[in-house]
Structure 1
Amino acid sequence: MNLKKEYDLIVIGGGASGMMAAITAAREKKSVLLLEKLSQIGAKLKATGGGRCNLTNTLSSEEFMAKFGRNGRFMQDALKEFDHKDLMHFFKEIGVETHAPDGFRVFPTSHSSQTIINALLDEMHRVGVEILTSQKVQNILQADNQICGVKTTEKTFYAKNVLIATGGLGYPTLGAEGDGHEMARELGHKVTELYPAMMPLFVKESWVANCRADTIAKVELRVAIKKHSKLKAHGDLIFTKSGIRGPVVLDAARELTPLLERYGEVPILVNLTKGMNEEQILKHLKKEAAKDPNATMLELLTTLLPSSLSKELCTLAEIDPLLTNSKISGAQRAKLIQLLAYTPLTVTGHEGFKMAMITSGGVDLKEIEPKTMQSRVIKGLYFCGEVMNLDGPCGGYNLQWSFAGGHLAGLLRKNT
């Protein structure tokens, strides 16, 4: 008599995608076991959006997919099943009200990620998901090209379906070790090159350390390498002691880390004047100077930028900031205006996965069926979330994809 228990689904990883998959499968009357190697679930989710938990955004699915680049269409089926409206409805259903205060980014009204974690935990308990924490999976078991269970450091669990939802390599202090990638490789899957993404960057220029007090809004950042000049990002920028951070940097980092590996350093140009071009900047400065002919260059520049940054740009343009507009040469003025429109910086590095919110790269999408999230290599193996080679910018993109992919995987549909 065989008394071993067999689950319908074992989920490896208690992050956003794993929890959503577990809930979806359990709502479909499947027996589900969720294994988390940390002592509590949702550790990375807790840190998302500075703890405020930017769940998703209000873009249409087409616009949303476009933000993920060439691989974006892979999520078409997942978003058809579970777009941002479905996600908001799901959370309302389990007791979490959400809103989009800026009309774009969606948060729980509590602006606390703990609200989300508590609600997901409560729902998992309600629908009967068995949760075991402090369980490190060593191997996924298979026989005759069919999944049959998992082995942890303590025990073997059996199931014909296993979902890898282990995340990437970002924030190793929150449990990211790349173990899901290793499991996928052992089962015959290809894993693409992995790069840290969404993190601060170091720059060569030392003057940035003098401009740490202020956030520069609506900056455009672009790569100043001809071959890669189409790479751009937009958003707020913050100067640090040794570099740059802020939303525009987090978005650009996913494109810049592979280039850093290739070139050693990457020149970039940043527009610090909310997209104004040289002609518009000149017109603005002339207008301000006409209002007060005795205004210093520093005073004129502070109508556009914070004082600390204005001083540094004057130094770079070799202009005495205390001179009036009429006292500087045409060449100096031209240089200053060019600097305002295109401030050059040189990205030299980063702190690696230690500070990376997201991993760029992962399990090759060609080996995963987008209509089911099931492996094309081995039956009964599913993937969702950051372990796959699909990552997006800041603004709720990655969490929406995690939830949508988790929902689709949890339906346990089979490849045709």
Structure 2
Amino acid sequence: MNSDKYDLIVIGSGAAGIISAIIAAREGKKVLLLEKLSKIASKLKATGGGRCNLTNTLSNEDFMARFGRDGRFMQDALSAFDNKALVSFMDEIGVQTHAPDGFRIFPTSHSSATIISALEDEMKRLSIEVLCNERAERLLLIGEHISGVKTQDKQLNAANVIVATGGLGYPVLGAEGDGYNLASELGHKVTDLSPAMMPLRTKEEWVKNCRADTIAKVELRVDLKKHKKLRAKGDLIFTNHGIRGPVVLDFAREITPLLKKYGEVPLLLNLTKGKNEEEIQKYFKKELQKNPSQTILELVSTLLPKPLSQELCNLAKIKSDEKYKKIDGAKRAKLISLLVWTPLTVNGHDGFRLAMITRGGISLKEIDPKTMQSRIIKSLYFCGEVMNLDGPCGGYNLQWSFASGHLAGKLL
């Protein structure tokens, strides 16, 4: 039994949890940060391959739009703590940042260790108590008010509790859905949970022959009657078992729920930077005028990497050493059709084991966006990925974690 009374207990030491603890402590609150692992910030350490893409340079309006229809939920949090405020906060604690590509913002060290060290120093300066190897098992109530947290061997009393436990992605880094269980036990609704921001597996095996190259500006579309509006554009990489790359990581959040529903998800890929059939025919005509003797493989390879060109010829049942004009008209039409829209069938993924984020979470309807406080239990707050809000890669989810944690830490 622990009889100490805290103003705030924060459960979870990711970006959202740590900044909420810091903001509360800066306002004079006695704060305890609970972490079930032996060290804090395990997932933050791994973010962006360890480079830690903190945020990006988009305006708040454009930023929210990238989260879809629920993006407006972030308005108050971003108004109080947007990308400029985050950069200023990092500068304040000794972390210099920059945007080398004009969009994504990183620490100049390109190392998450720099950020974690600075956050730890700030927590020490503010006398925030950090308790590791301590799992929160239950939230305690007096009436409809939070009164503390029960761990495996302690009862910790507090006037406020913030749940910042993250999602289910990368369980090796501590993601086990603790926050969902804590919230649902008190009556909060947790939406369906799906892994997101991850590679996808395909039924087609030819992809393994194309894994050496990145294909730029690929458009992906879902080829299901009810979901034809789902599409994305960006760089794609073929793998030994499927596809990955920025466009796939972003689009996976749409695919994984469909995969759960249908078992397979047919996709169409435009691999030729948006060219349609007429444009490809004109392009081929110009290329053949330059070099009439080139083979079909050589011709297609002026558009795409050679291994991928070979596989598309195979799909069209064309011998790669044939000349374009000698190819049967139906086969020629088939090849051009494949260049415009190449079919692929997603039939699996590696689950939450390799998911960077989770789609789904605690229902936003039950959280006040002006404070991040529960609408069901007083003095209970949520922030970060534990809520039903996720965005694409590019600093979106980390900015949201910091912004929501900042607002929750105000304890409004």
After the TM superposition, list the runs of 4 or more consecutive aligned residues in structure 1 that deviate by more than 4 angstroms. none
Using the size of structure 1 for normalisation, the TM-score is: 0.97
Q: Residue 365 of structure 1: CA displacement?
A: 0.4
Please tell me whether residue 368 in structure 1 is matched to residue 367 in structure 2. yes
- Code of the aligned partner of 1:248: V
Please tell me whether residue 333 in structure 1 is matched to residue 332 in structure 2. yes
SS in 1 for 2:267: strand
Identify unmatched segments of 5+ residues in structure 1: none
Q: How does 1:130-279 map to 2 (within 5 A)?
A: 130-279=129-278
- Code of the aligned partner of 1:330: G
| C-alpha separation in 1, matches of 2:117 and 2:233 | 34
SS in 1 for 2:393: coil
Alignment correspondent of 1:38: 37
The alignment of Structure 1 onto Structure 2 pairs a total of residues equal to 411
- Code of the aligned partner of 1:31: K
| C-alpha separation in 2, matches of 1:110 and 1:365 | 35
| C-alpha separation in 1, matches of 2:162 and 2:291 | 67
Please tell me whether residue 50 in structure 1 is matched to residue 37 in structure 2. no
Alignment correspondent of 1:306: 305
| C-alpha separation in 1, matches of 2:206 and 2:403 | 43
SS in 2 for 1:138: strand
- Code of the aligned partner of 2:49: G
SS in 2 for 1:222: strand
Alignment correspondent of 1:14: 13
Q: Residue 154 of structure 1: CA displacement?
A: 2.4
| C-alpha separation in 1, matches of 2:147 and 2:248 | 43
SS in 2 for 1:106: strand
- Code of the aligned partner of 1:404: A
The answer as to whether partners of 1:148 and 1:159 remain within 8 angstroms in 2 is yes
| C-alpha separation in 2, matches of 1:322 and 1:309 | 15
- Code of the aligned partner of 1:4: S
SS in 2 for 1:40: coil
SS in 2 for 1:285: helix
Q: Residue 260 of structure 1: CA displacement?
A: 0.8
Which is worse superposed, 91-100 or 398-407? 91-100
Query: How far does the alpha carbon of each residue in 1:276-333 deviate from its partner, in whole angstroms, 9 at most, with x for none?
Result: 2222222222111110001111111111111100000011111111122222233222
Q: Residue 4 of structure 1: CA displacement?
A: 3.1
Alignment correspondent of 1:80: 79
The answer as to whether partners of 1:35 and 1:132 remain within 8 angstroms in 2 is yes
| C-alpha separation in 2, matches of 1:152 and 1:113 | 29
| C-alpha separation in 1, matches of 2:279 and 2:124 | 59
Identify unmatched segments of 5+ residues in structure 2: none
SS in 1 for 2:19: helix
Alignment correspondent of 2:341: 342
- Code of the aligned partner of 1:408: L
The answer as to whether partners of 1:361 and 1:388 remain within 8 angstroms in 2 is yes
| C-alpha separation in 1, matches of 2:74 and 2:295 | 54
The answer as to whether partners of 1:74 and 1:370 remain within 8 angstroms in 2 is yes
Alignment correspondent of 2:69: 70
Alignment correspondent of 2:59: 60
| C-alpha separation in 2, matches of 1:92 and 1:274 | 39
Query: How far does the alpha carbon of each residue in 1:248-300 deviate from its partner, in whole angstroms, 9 at most, with x for none?
Result: 11111101111111111110001111222222222222111110001111111
SS in 1 for 2:23: helix
Query: How far does the alpha carbon of each residue in 1:220-262 deviate from its partner, in whole angstroms, 9 at most, with x for none?
Result: 1110112111111122111111111111111111011111111
Q: Residue 382 of structure 1: CA displacement?
A: 0.2
Cα RMSD, aligned residues only = 1.1
Query: How far does the alpha carbon of each residue in 1:325-359 deviate from its partner, in whole angstroms, 9 at most, with x for none?
Result: 22223322221111111110011111111111111
| C-alpha separation in 1, matches of 2:30 and 2:135 | 20
- Code of the aligned partner of 2:145: Q
Q: Residue 386 of structure 1: CA displacement?
A: 0.6
Q: Residue 191 of structure 1: CA displacement?
A: 0.6
Alignment correspondent of 2:319: 320
Q: Percent identity?
A: 69
| C-alpha separation in 1, matches of 2:130 and 2:116 | 14
- Code of the aligned partner of 1:401: W
Query: How far does the alpha carbon of each residue in 1:117-174 deviate from its partner, in whole angstroms, 9 at most, with x for none?
Result: 1111111111221111111111111111110111111211111100000001111100
| C-alpha separation in 2, matches of 1:281 and 1:126 | 63
Using the size of structure 2 for normalisation, the TM-score is: 0.98
The answer as to whether partners of 1:293 and 1:325 remain within 8 angstroms in 2 is no
